[in-house]
């Protein structure tokens, strides 16, 4: 995989570098600082910076599901006016993620064209993969965080004192259930499609595909009896699952050979995806053209680089999710209360309802 070695860019194929014994293993992210109201440490004691309007920048690709998580939370939490956005080309070439028109990364770094410039500006001797999303500090000229799971939780809480947006996708009362489903979804589905697509041996591929579809079967059954993954409330577990499902028939079914069944063959999953896609603001974060171009531009799995015309997908079609009881999104009582794990549950109030 293209990446940095001691601060020097090394070209390579996107499918190389994270293969161990014929199986795909994702390299962990390395920048894990936090943002909080006054710069107090993060939920696990991480160093943090103050959450301020106009200081931070989110860099993404519409192609990447991990980046899509952050993009959706920026929209759901009303952060468009506080955190600027830059979008890379929808494919990873020999030079990694690129910005053909350039990106203004702030006064210290100036204008860049290559995503890896953000990494070497942060650590001149950085070694590892260069991924999106990146939460960038324009003022200090360095990466705050490049882990999407962290970024969505930063967005979920850290700017509420500026926006007044009290929607909470990770409420304390549901955290155990959310974390349990997150672990299952990440391992079996989010990362499961990549294990199938980048497998280098038949055995690794077979194992990955069987595990993936067993998980989809279980999730389809779950959503036949529950409006959302963690119950009656729409939480981060749903959005973490959505980013893979919305790409499934357009990319993973064909490009990654995840072809035992299509998403449309699962009645509950397909209706669920349509409901989430139609949630206000979400359709604007999904770019199917970029998704298809990105996955079918990976030479290791598609040497001719031909992008298929189909399938024709209609996420605007009606869904049947209203037949199940749902209470929308949990709303915090106070948008300025610090909400890290271990806080007094009384500070968060009780679970209340908020419709669409």
163: number of Cβ within 10 Å:
15
> Is 194 a catalytic site residue?
yes
Distance, CA of 184 to CA of 130 (rounded, Å): 26
- Using an 8 Å Cβ cutoff, are 69 and 240 in contact? yes
Choosing from 119, 194, 205, 295, the catalytic residue is: 194
Q: Is 56 a catalytic residue?
A: no
Q: Where are the beta strands (DSSP E) in the chain?
A: 3-5, 8-10, 19-20, 23-24, 34-36, 48-50, 56-60, 84-87, 98-104, 111-114, 128-129, 134-137, 142-145, 167-168, 330-331
Q: Are 33 and 144 in contact (CB under 8 A)?
A: yes
Given the residues 64, 99, 114, 266, the one annotated as active site: 64
Rounded Cα distance, 319 and 321, in Å = 6
Burial (Cβ within 10 Å: 0-12, 13-18, ≥19) of residue 56: buried
Of the candidates 228, 198, 277, 261, the one whose C-alpha atom is nearest the C-alpha of residue 25 is 198
For 156, the enclosing helix (H) or strand (E) is helix 148-157
In contact, 114 and 2? CB cutoff 8 Å: no
Burial of 66 (0-12, 13-18, 19+ CB in 10 A): buried
Cis peptide bond upstream of 82, omega within 30: no
Catalytic residue set: 64, 194
């Amino acid at each position: 995989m293209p990446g940095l070695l001691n601060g020097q860019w090394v070209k390579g194929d996107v499918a190389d570098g994270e293969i161990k014994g014929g199986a795909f293993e994702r390299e962990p992210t390395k920048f894990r600082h936090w943002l909080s109201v006054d710069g107090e440490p993060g939920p696990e004691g991480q160093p943090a910076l103050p959450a301020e309007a106009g200081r931070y920048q989110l860099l993404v690709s519409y192609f990447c599901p991990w980046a899509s998580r952050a993009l959706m939370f920026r929209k759901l939490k009303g952060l468009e006016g506080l955190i600027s956005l830059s979008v890379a080309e929808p494919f990873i070439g020999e030079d990694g993620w690129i910005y053909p028109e350039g990106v203004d990364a702030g006064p210290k770094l100036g204008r860049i064209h290559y995503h890896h410039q953000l990494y070497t500006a942060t650590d001149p001797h950085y070694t590892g993969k260069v991924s999106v999303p990146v939460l960038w500090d324009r003022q200090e000229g360095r990466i705050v965080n490049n882990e999407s799971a962290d970024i969505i939780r930063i967005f979920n809480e850290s700017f509420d004192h500026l926006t007044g947006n009290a929607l909470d996708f990770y409420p304390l009362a549901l955290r155990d259930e959310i974390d349990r489903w997150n672990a299952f979804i990440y391992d079996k589905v989010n990362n499961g499609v990549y294990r199938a697509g980048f497998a280098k041996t038949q055995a690794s591929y077979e194992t990955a595909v069987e595990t993936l579809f067993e998980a989809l079967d279980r999730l389809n059954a779950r959503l036949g009896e529950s409006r959302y993954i963690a119950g009656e409330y729409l939480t981060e577990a749903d959005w973490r699952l959505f980013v893979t499902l919305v790409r499934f028939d357009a990319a993973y079914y064909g490009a990654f050979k995840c072809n035992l069944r299509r998403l449309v063959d699962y009645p509950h999953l397909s209706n669920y995806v349509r409901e989430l896609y139609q949630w206000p603001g979400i359709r604007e974060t999904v770019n199917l053209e970029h998704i298809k171009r990105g996955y079918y531009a990976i030479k290791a799995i598609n040497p001719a680089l031909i992008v298929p015309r189909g399938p024709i997908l209609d996420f605007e079609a009606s869904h049947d999710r209203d037949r199940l009881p749902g209470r929308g999104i949990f709303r915090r009582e106070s948008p300025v209360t610090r909400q890290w794990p271990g806080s007094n549950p009384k500070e968060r109030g009780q679970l209340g309802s908020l419709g669409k």
